Amino acid sequence: MTHRPRHAGTAAAALGFAITAAVATLGGAAFCMPACAQPAVTTYHNDASRTGWNPAETALTVASVGGLHLQHSVVLDEQVDAQPLYVTHQTISGQGAHEVVYVATEANTVYAVDAATGAILLSRSLGGAVPASTTPGRCNNNAPVLGIQSTPAIDVSSGTMWVISYTFESNHPVYRLHALDLSSLADKMPSRVVTASATLADGSAHVFDAFASRQRSALLFENGNIYAGFASFCDIRADLSRGWVLGWNAATLAPLPANELTNKVVGAPHNFYLSSVWMSGDGLAASGPGGAIFFTTGNADPSGTTFNNTTNLAESYVKLSSDLSTVLGHFTPSDESALDKTDEDFGSGGSTLLPTAVAHGAALAVAAGKDGNMFLMNTASLGGYHPGGANNVIATSNIGPCWCGPSYFTGADGRGRVVSSGASDVMVWKLNDYGLLAAASAP
């Protein structure tokens, strides 16, 4: 799991608002000020399917984009790696109703910002962040401190935002799940320290290690639960770090009885495990209430010999039951061994679940990774693993190396489009009646 190089964070970060005469955009959200109502953006990429699509958008058009300009710049206390979220007509304690942008920083600070004025309405520290110098191998793919690394999740109906902080407590890193009140940013209940244990292939126990685990992927609120994926820090301490998917009851923060440890191998040739769940900050995806959870995983031991359908789902697209007890299916590229050997994570990219209407009711998904292959899959039968053979997927398209997440929208002709952003190119792919992709010259 090697990340793209990035510049170290500065002492403060600026949050920018770009607007046209009537439209403001921020972190993928588009909203009118105040001429028209826009839906809230409560999760990464707009919805649990991670489409990134706002079908109600009318003001932000190809013609209006050229008129975007910076309206407000808000100084924050540290780098922002989480997508800002947006809630309309949100009541703030003692301040009335506002259009509010919620922003979380690597200093473990959560802000509520007035979308119309750029004024900070509320701010709340969730505790001292973890110095990057204390991470495994001093991993430098982050800010000088690590705090809130993932995009939170919001439920407007209950007025709750769930966020995972990374705090330095008694010289040890600790992950805490918080349920914050949108009106005050106060904890609705005591935060929950993240803990977990799973059984390895030899029957021994493996305990979650906050020191060696990075919570980068966006949180998912679905099925009355909060779900989170965990990865490594720069693939350092791969002897300790393994991929996890954990879940909690959203109302109580009680951990779910089951969890998913993606790599249960014992005795890897290089003492190297991983199979991380990171997706460059993209989120676990869900197919709807009661449905499955989907995610991609990264590389495992560089020998290329440790993949196993039961004990190590490295370099895979995984379908997991909503209670996290059962792997319901997976697709693993036929060159999985080579991907492991060359650190070409399939799991560097997230995935998008497509609306079932686009291909005669078939439930399709797209996902891509570092080697540039974007796979179109049927989630009812993902394709499994066929080493050295053909990939049992619907289609494969080359989009360039992907530290990215695909998007989806329906064009004016009623046809679905997948938007990919591998390498330095943004490409639009048009779906036909059979769910096959073809490069589209225009939206």
Half-sphere exposure of 67 (CA within 13 A, CB side): 12
- Averaged confidence pLDDT in the chain: 90
Q: Which of the pair, 15 or 170, is modelled with greater confidence?
A: 170
pLDDT tens readout for residues 88-128: 999 999 999 999 999 999 999 999 999 999 999 999 999 99
| Alpha-carbon torsion angle 363, 364, 369, 371, nearest 10 | 140
Q: Average of pLDDT values for 321-334?
A: 98
Tokens 């209670």, located at residue: 323
d(CA 70, CA 104): 21
| 208 contacts: CB under 8 Å, gap ≥ 6 | 194, 195, 196, 197, 230, 244, 246
Token output for 407:
């998007």
- How confident is the model over 259-264, as a mean pLDDT? 99
What would the mean pLDDT of 347-364 be, rounded to a whole number? 85
Of 166, 165, 150, the closest CA to residue 220 belongs to 150
Average pLDDT, stretch 417-426?
88
Q: Is the pLDDT of residue 397 over 60?
A: yes
In the DSSP assignment, the letter for residue 84 is P
Q: What is the pLDDT of residue 29?
A: 43
**Is the pLDDT assigned to residue 19 strictly greater than 80?**
no
| Beta-strand relationship, 427-431 and 407-410 | unpaired
State the number of CA atoms in the 13 A half-sphere of 147 facing the CB: 24
For the full predicted model, state whether its pTM sits above 0.85: yes
Burial of residue 162 (number of CB atoms within 10 Å: 0-12, 13-18, 19+): buried
Share of the chain above pLDDT 90, in %: 76
| Structure confidence at residue 241 (pLDDT) | 98
